[in-house]
Amino acid sequence: MKFTDGFWLVRDGYSMRHAAHVQRAELLSDKGAISALIAPRIVENRGATLNIGTLDLRLDSPLDDVVRVRVAHHRGGKPALTYAISEHSPKVTLEKSEDSVSLTTGRVRARLSTSTSWKLSFEAEGKVFAEQGAKGLSIVDAPEGKRYLASQISLKVGENVYGLGERFTSFIKNGQTVDIWNADGGTSSEQAYKNIPFYLTNEGYGVFVNHTGLVSFEVASEAVEKVQFSAETEDIEYFIIYGPTPKEILEKYTALTGRAPVLPEWSFGLWLSTSFVTNYDESTVSQFIDEMSAQKIPLSVFHFDCFWMREYQWCDFQWDPRTFPDPEGMLARLKAKGLRISLWINPYIGQASPLFDEARDAGYLLKRADGSVWQWDLWQAGNSIVDFTNPAARKWFKSKLRPLLKMGVDCFKTDFGERIPTDVIYCDGSNPEQMHNLYTQIYNETVWEVLQEVKGDEAIVFARSAAPGGQKMPVHWGGDNTSTFESMAESLRGGLSLSLSGFGYWSHDIGGFEGTPNPAVFKRWIAFGLLSSHSRLHGNESVRVPWSIDDESVSVTRKFATLKSELLPYIMKVAAEEVHGRGTPLMRPMLVEFPEDRTTWFLDQQYMFGPDLLVAPVFTESGEVEFYLPAGKWTNYFTLEVVNGGRWLKESHGFDSLPLYIREDSKYLTH
């Protein structure tokens, strides 16, 4: 949120009190922490302590090289909701000098000035890598009695900011305003399904704001020399995470918030969907699957989208008897073909669902202030929302999923979870604004827990919305894109941005969800999609079976589905050792592998697939593509030609090819 009117003035109706003078600072040796009281002006006498308000500051460390900053204005209210953090046992050293106090953890020292020039700096290996000075911490009084806490961290010349969730805007976030607020906005808007209040920079550190409500980031925008983040709250905490490499930053961030498990090998194969509003029954589904087999296209998972249930009744978790009279028998027949089965679900209960009255009477639905069930007609008529803060509601929701798993279903597509209202009452009394983003976490946790209970290590969801820690319950896909090259490119930007937000796996709708792709878009997207973490053919009003596009689409799909099958041993090694072991994403921006190469800082139309494979999707019908190879020798995966890197290359590719290069001295792949 923007509070100022240019550099000098404050917006009408707002007032700001900036941290200015450390009144006292204590070393809490038994807790490995520093506690400080900060006034918003220079206090020269006793009278100046009156009528000003203060900020309580606390510094400690949950992990080597990570400093936690806790700031509070008024501490008498209910503390802000935070995401779960894994505490470790770092060695912390506290020091006090004439003009500062400091906390050292690993290689990082946080130094708080105690002179009349307030400053909080973060140092490592002989240099200051981040700093909060004038206007670095502020109390903001806003119209309608609202109050915000705002923090600013300085940016150096040439410092780029990345991450903040799955964002489809520019890959480098400088110049943007980013609101951490889950929304169902598609991939062609500034809204995002997966908002993560974590960013990292090419200066070797990351920042995680541990607040579940709306956090607004002004990234080199309101104050062009700084990143500002603010929230409507009286207390907030954030973590300064030193790397210095992107891999090390992500390793430490995911040590705090969690890492993705090693997913079952079958999940990395090709997924085929019924698509959304298309007409389908068992005969249709069987025809799709049998034709994929006849065309020798390896298929791993078949997904039933919304209309496996009867219209108006989403969700009732019952197969529509008109089109699926024998679901248990059908699933057995499909599984006999070697397939896994995925079903679409969401956390909503339409009024026509037989479960609505059951959930209403038991108190399992979100309520309005007057005690009535919160409902609207968007999506399903009389739509209501399950209250997952109610332990009994979670247990009830799980009880509806177990019969499906027993029937033969292997996983669920946990759709939606973004449009969560704030004019509601939660069972546990949670702040609705702070629950908006957190809702998807407990929704997906509920489904994940029952999958782990029944499927064990085979548990997997296919989720759209997420919050910090969501990476522990993979996999996530990019949401509603369109059938164009532009949307294909924005999908990739979103995935790369999410990968720099701690998520190890990511997928997208091959060919685009909205519209029907022309043959060129579909075939180029097939190559990109099958060289992504997870690969799914899915659309809205039209199916994505390749023969519905053109004949060549069949051979292109066969080639790249077969290629991904060949890469499975490589993918599984990367998943175990890097995604799960260290928090490094499977699909990763070039800067993750080559942070020393300045050119990689700007690349968002190519990526590394694991540490060894460079992929440059083709975004043109003609097949012309320009991409960058970092220094070293690279081997063309298809031709085995060896070329020198450290330069840009321009190539032309048919639909059955794209730039795919093996890195010299590859870690897991043999040339």
Burial 291-320 (b: 16+ CB within 10 A, else e): ebeebebbbbbbbbbbbbbbeebbbbbbbb
Q: Which H or E run contains 235? A: strand 235-242
Angle at 208 between CA 205 and CA 500, to 5 degrees: 65
- Local mean pLDDT, 10-residue blocks, the chain (671 residues): 96 97 96 97 94 96 98 96 97 96 98 92 97 97 97 98 98 98 97 98 98 98 97 98 98 98 98 97 97 98 98 97 97 98 98 98 98 96 98 98 98 98 98 98 98 98 98 98 98 98 98 97 98 98 97 98 98 98 98 98 98 98 98 97 98 98 93 63
Provide the edge-to-edge strand list for the sheet that holds 55-63.
21-28, 33-39, 55-63, 66-72, 235-242, 205-209, 195-201, 161-165
Which pair of structure tokens corresponds to residue 495? 């995935």
621 catalytic, yes or no? no
* Active-site residue, from 232, 248, 305, 415: 415
- Does residue 306 have a cis peptide bond before it, meaning omega lies within 30 degrees of 0? no
- Indicate the pTM of the whole model: 0.98
480 catalytic, yes or no? yes
Give bridge partners of residue 165 from the DSSP assignment.
195
Q: Which H or E run contains 236? A: strand 235-242
617: region left, alpha or beta (phi > 0 left; psi from -120 to 50 alpha)? beta
User: What's the burial of 350, exposed, middle or buried (CB within 10 Å: 0-12/13-18/19+)?
Assistant: buried
Q: Are 302 and 270 in contact (CB under 8 A)?
A: no
Going along the chain from its start, the domains and CATH numbers come out as 4-257 (2.60.40.1760), 268-345+394-419+436-575 (3.20.20.80), 586-663 (2.60.40.1180)
- Rounded distance between C-alpha atoms, residue 190 and residue 183, angstroms: 10
Other beta carbons less than 10 A from residue 285's beta carbon:
20
What pLDDT does 671 receive?
63
415 catalytic, yes or no? yes
Q: Are 114 and 39 in contact (CB under 8 A)?
A: no
- Rounded distance between C-alpha atoms, residue 193 and residue 180, angstroms: 10
* Active-site residue, from 65, 166, 235, 418: 418
* Active-site residue, from 480, 509, 514, 612: 480
Q: How far is CA 301 from CA 95, 127, 574, in A?
A: 58, 51, 22
Q: Which of 121, 153, 124, 158 is nearest to 136 (CA)?
A: 153
Q: How far is CA 167 from CA 195, 199, 223, 360, 501, in A?
A: 8, 12, 21, 36, 10
Which pair of structure tokens corresponds to residue 548? 């519905």
Residue 567 half-sphere exposure, CB side, CA atoms within 13 Å? Answer: 25
Q: Which H or E run contains 38? A: strand 33-39
Three-class SS state of 182: coil
